[in-house]
Amino acid sequence: MINPYNVYRSLKRPWSRFDSDNNSSIFSIRKYGPSLAFCSPLLILGLISNTLLAQEADSLQIKSYVDKIILKINLDTQNEEFLIYSDQQEQIALSTNNSLRLDLSLDYEFLGFSIGFAPNFFNSNKDDARKGSSELTDIGFRFFLGRWTQELTYQSNEGFYVENTADFIADWNANSDPYIQFPYLKRTYYGGSTAYVLNDRFSLRNIVYNTEWQLKSAGSFVPTARYGYRRISATLNQTREVENNFELDLIAAYYYTWVIHANWFIAPQLSPGIGIRFSNTTQENTTARERDTRYPLILDGGLQLGYSSERFIAGGLLNFQSIYTKTGSGSSVINDQVFARFFVGIRLDPPEFIAKQARRINEKFGL
């Protein structure tokens, strides 16, 4: 794999200031080829079993709004951050310059789509002179098949800076000097997830997608498989390395919706898991190839306060995501994120021609 500690050794060279226009920066990322197509056995099983197992939501427990168009806007503080530790406890903290991001989503019937980005009109995203420019793209598709949920995701983050620049530049001034910047560091991810709700009296759609309304308190385990392909390329000490990662995570998620009022709910969730990473690293102008297998530990969780009515939805949540990976090079990589999210949305009646086509599809496939 790309040795994270090489980053530290590269940073140990004398620094007076970082030249953001210097193309020979420590990382140099290139764009990659076409996306991967995912075909999940769990999804196929869901298609087969859907007509046998699916049933209408209990009208006393769950109210469905899948026949409405759900438009929603999210504002959140989720930011890409990494901590890299060596066995000597030396640390590198990498982050993108995207403190605030927006997500727009649309859901109707059994389909959903969302797109996320970090607009520059937020003041907290504007400090390009000191932290460099960062670009974010996050696109998702989702499909609902009874109690099965399938998601496909594309994510791209480009442009990082070193939060602990003071550890590498002795005379660095935190109030005025620019951070060490990696403008060409780019991480690209193509992935998917397949989840199944064990309790048919619990609505995952209520707290995640807002296409249903949980009327009575309930909870459920939601076993989830996440899988994907992640590519990173970097130039360290004038040597370009490319790392391809194939990832699989098994998550034992538990969600609970506590209905505290006819229109209000509180929803905690906790999702521990384990994973496996198959890594293949190559170096430019050499035949060197390194293979590595890693087993990350995963813990996600959060607490949501939500409001739902016949027409409007709103809420806020506080989430954390943590992934700890021990590498074969004597280093540890920790991807920790704690972020808040606020959302508002509206349920609209679809145009008749769209509703008519949706009814035909539902009748034909028994969705």
Confidence of residue 46 (pLDDT cuts 50, 70, 90): very low
Is residue 111 packed enough to be buried (19+ CB in 10 Å), middle (13-18) or exposed (0-12)? middle
Q: Pick from 71, 181, 69: which is nearest to 133 by CA?
A: 181
* Contacts of residue 338, Cβ cutoff 8 Å, sequence gap at least 6: 318, 319, 320
* Residue 57: predicted pLDDT: 45
What are 293's strand-pairing partners? 278
Q: Above pLDDT 90, what percent of the chain?
A: 43
CA distance 117 to 96: 13
Residue-wise pLDDT tens digits, 144-163: 888 999 999 999 988 888 98
CA distance 134 to 358: 39
CA distance 185 to 134: 10
Residue-wise pLDDT tens digits, 237-294: 677 778 899 999 999 999 999 999 999 999 999 999 999 999 898 887 777 788 889 8
* Domain layout of the chain by residue ranges: 4-365
Distances (CA, A) of 46 to 126, 256, 359: 45, 23, 20
pLDDT mean over 306-332:
86
* Residue 53: predicted pLDDT: 40
* Residue 19: predicted pLDDT: 38
CB-side neighbour CA atoms (13 Å) of 331: 20
CA distance 145 to 58: 16
Least confident of 23-27, 50-54, 184-188, 269-273: 23-27
Residue-wise pLDDT tens digits, 160-216: 889 889 888 888 988 889 998 888 888 899 999 999 999 999 999 999 999 999 999
CA distance 177 to 171: 9
* Residue 258: predicted pLDDT: 97
CA distance 231 to 3: 14
Position with higher pLDDT, 19 vs 220: 220
Average confidence score pLDDT of the chain:
81
- Please say whether the beta carbons of 101 and 137 come within 8 A: no
Structural fold of domain 4-365: Lipocalin (2.40.128)
Confidence of residue 56 (pLDDT cuts 50, 70, 90): very low
Q: Calculate Rg over the CA atoms of the chain.
A: 23
Q: Which of 218-227, 273-282, 325-334 has the highest mean pLDDT?
A: 218-227
* Residue 7: predicted pLDDT: 52
Confidence of residue 28 (pLDDT cuts 50, 70, 90): very low
Give SS3 for 138.
strand
Least confident of 6-10, 27-31, 75-79, 175-179: 27-31
Exposure pattern of 26-58 as b/e (b: 16+ CB <10 Å)? bbbbeeeeeeeebebebbeebbeebeeeeeebe
At residue 97, does pLDDT exceed 80? yes
CA distance 127 to 118: 13
Q: Residue 48: what are its φ and ψ, rounded to 5°?
A: -70, -45
Dihedral (Cα; 335, 341, 347, 352), 10-degree rounding: -40
Confidence of residue 11 (pLDDT cuts 50, 70, 90): low
